[in-house]
Structures are given as structure tokens and as C-alpha cells.
Amino acid sequence: MTETGLGSGVPRSVAGPGWAAKLALQPWFHRFCSRVPGLRGIARAEGEALFEVVSGFVRSQCLLALVELRVLHRLAEAPETTARLAALSAVPVDRMAVLCQAGAALKLMRRKGDIWRLTPRGAAFLTVPGLEAMVRHHPVLYRDLADPAAFFRGKTDPELAGFWPYVFGAGGAADPDLAARYSDLMADSQGLVAEDTLRLVDFRGITHLMDVGGGTGAFLAAVGKAHPQLTRTLFDLPAVVAGARARLGADVTIIPGSFRDDDLPLGADAISLIRVLYDHADATVTALLANVRQALPPGGRLIISEPMSGGARPDPATDVYFTVYTLAMQTGRTRSEAEIAGLLQKAGFDAITPAKSLRPFVTTALSAMTPAESLSKLSN
């Protein structure tokens, strides 16, 4: 075993770091770079990037404090002094000054003398649907990561696993209050996902879309606005769709059921799975894709949209936040486009087409088709 922990089975060419990393392992090289123009800039930028990684958890906790103490909300109404923000939040003035200074360094607010104002970034944070609610539920994940080595060893019992009971099957979502809690969070955070999915996916040729695992219908409501001619069907667990009628007009068919236990209804020429696959293990996804294939006619379309891993090119947003989040949930996995394409291929889908993501931290979309009639007959 080498110091890097790589065993003897690793080929020589990949055993050990590359030449640049080898140099960066030498303290003298750091001193050398700090003296050489050109290299000095690279070293400084690397230092800043490294410090972001080192301090990220403190940034997130400052954001949470600004939210919980309603500092940003108050600044959305009017500029305030440190003393007034402190009094309104029951925080000592000197401590509020530290928090406000951190908020300004994060560009969520700015200062002029002792007056604090909201910045466009702070305003955007308050306006993006579902974002504040997401940040407010982060303490659950934060607690789960308190001992990260034990977490990655699989030696902890993550609290997040119990936060989304619906994932464990129809029985898990029987409690209407719990179902409403997660459905509201999902529906609120659906706005950006729907916006990007509608821009990425070509809906031409589709006449009837069924959104499977569509929650309370936020995606179908957005589809209805963008493509009013489409027939729409919502399929989700009974306790979840109970809250859907209020959002959807009478022209949307709502079908309660479980894709684990029931055959999906026939009739749609396209099915969407928005933020559904990453909740589930490969075996469940494989069974779901087979169920979808049975429900679609030959040449039918499947649309998948959810945050995806960068795979061979790790993505700074999805490969830290969403992969760790779904690991803590314990039931699913943030898959790459290639992994999902592999599962689609195994399930017998054709024409698997990735659509370039606009914002990987919001979603990435993929579409596929059931084989045309002749092929479909051959493979059945």
C-alpha cells in the first residue's frame, strides 16, 4: 500500500498524483509560486477556491441564521440599523454586527455606514420559490453530517431518511399531514424545475402527457400554461393527489395509485418522471421503467428531469449537494445522465436524448422513446 492508500492493483500510470499535484505537494513550490508573477495569481485563486471549500459550512450556517432571525425579510421591507435588527431579533448588538457583516460578505446585503440594505442576491434568495423552505430544513442534513467519516462509512442512522416517508412506499405516505408537508415543499421548489424542463424538452408531437409521481400537480400546471392543447393526467400516491385538485383545473385527470404496486394507466403518449428516479434504488427504478414502457404506445415518449451527477466530469453542485442528500435519504441515488441512459436502454427504450442542462443545480433533462411498432413486437 502506498501513502495515498492505492493498492498494488492500480496501474503504474495512474498510481499517484499527476505532475501538477506532485509539485503542489511540495511546500517549497508554494513559496516559489508566491514569488513568480503569473504563477502568483494562479496560486492565489487556488487558495481562494480551497478556502471556499474549507469554510462552506460556516457560510451556510450564516445564511440559516439570517433566515431564522428574519434579517433578510426585514431588509426587504426597509433599510435598518444594526441596533434595530439586533433588538428585533433579540440578538446582542455586537453579535448582530458580526452576522450582518457576514451577510454583506456573502453579498446578500450591503452596508452604508451603519445602515443595512438588501442586495439583488438577497432579494433573489427570498423570491426563488421553495428556496427559503429548503434552507430551513437543512438542519436535518447538517445533523446527519456532524460525523462525516462515520456517515460515509455507513455507520450512522440519518435523520433525513425519516423526513420523506413517502419514499418508502404507499404505506409511508398514508399520513395526510406528512404528505402535505413534503408535497408543499416539492410544489414550491417545482417552479424552476418546470421552467427549465419546459425549455429543454421538445413537446411537439405529444398529445397526452401523464406525470407519474407528479405530486400535487405543479409541473402539470406549468405544462398546461405552456401547452394548453395537451391532455394531462396526474398519477401519484393517494395521500398526495388528495391535495392536487385545488391546484389543477377540472380538465386534468387525477389517478391515485402506486407505481410500485399498480400497472400505470394506459392512454398517454408521453410520460414524465420529474425528480422521481433519484428517490429510489436501481431495482425500483428498473421496475418503474418497465411499468412506464408497458403503459406507453409504440413510439411513446418518456421525459426524465431531475438533478443529475456529472458522472465522469464531477459537477460542483450536484456531486456534492444532491449526491450526499440522496445518500442520507438512504433509498435513492443521484445518477448521472449516462447511468440513467443505461437503465433506459435495459428497459428497452430507444432514441435516448440528453438535453443540455441550463442550471445543473436545478435540473437536467433526458428523453427517450418506446420502440416503434415493428421493433416493439420483435422485443415482446
Ligand X SMILES: C[S@@+](CC[C@H](N)C(=O)[O-])C[C@H]1O[C@@H](n2cnc3c(N)ncnc32)[C@H](O)[C@@H]1O
Partner whose binding site includes residue 170, from ligand X, ligand LPSJV3QT, none (CB under 5 to 8 Å by kind): ligand X
Q: Is 131 in the site for ligand LPSJV3QT (CB under 6 A)?
A: yes
Cell matching residue 34: 508566491
Question: 78: which strand partners?
Answer: none
Dist. CA 105–CA 111, nearest whole Å: 10
The per-residue b/e assignment along 6-23, b for 16 or more CB within 10 angstroms, e otherwise, is eeeeeeeeeeeeeeeeee
Q: Is 260 in the site for ligand X (CB under 6 A)?
A: yes
- Minimum CB separation of residue 116 from ligand X in Å reads 35
- Minimum CB separation of residue 165 from ligand LPSJV3QT in Å reads 11
Dist. CA 257–CA 261, nearest whole Å: 8
Q: How big is the site for ligand X, counted in residues (CB under 6 A)?
A: 22
| Residue that the C-alpha cell 418522471 belongs to | 273
What distance lies between CA 17 and its chain's CA centroid? 31
Q: Report the residue number, 118 or 288, with the smaller CB distance to ligand X.
A: 288
Taken in order 51, 53, 58, 63, the sign of the CA dihedral is positive
Q: Report the residue number, 174 or 351, with the smaller CB distance to ligand LPSJV3QT.
A: 174
By the 10 Å C-beta count (0-12 exposed, 13-18 middle, 19+ buried), 301 is classed as buried
- Minimum CB separation of residue 182 from ligand X in Å reads 7
Q: Is 201 in the site for ligand X (CB under 6 A)?
A: no
Instruction: Please count the other Cβ atoms lying within 10 Å of the Cβ belonging to residue 333.
Output: 19
Dist. CA 186–CA 279, nearest whole Å: 13
Dist. CA 108–CA 178, nearest whole Å: 32
Residues 270-299 touching ligand X, rule: CB under 6 A, are 274-276, 279
Q: Is 164 in the site for ligand LPSJV3QT (CB under 6 A)?
A: yes
Using the rule CB under 6 A, which residue among 142, 151, 168, 361 binds ligand LPSJV3QT? 361
Partner whose binding site includes residue 131, from ligand X, ligand LPSJV3QT, none (CB under 5 to 8 Å by kind): ligand LPSJV3QT
- Minimum CB separation of residue 222 from ligand X in Å reads 10
- Using CB under 6 A, list all residues that contact ligand LPSJV3QT: 120, 124, 128, 131, 134, 164, 189, 275, 278-279, 325-326, 361
Which parts of this chain interact with ligand X (CB under 6 A)? 166, 169-170, 173, 186, 190, 193, 213-215, 218-219, 236-237, 240, 258-260, 274-276, 279
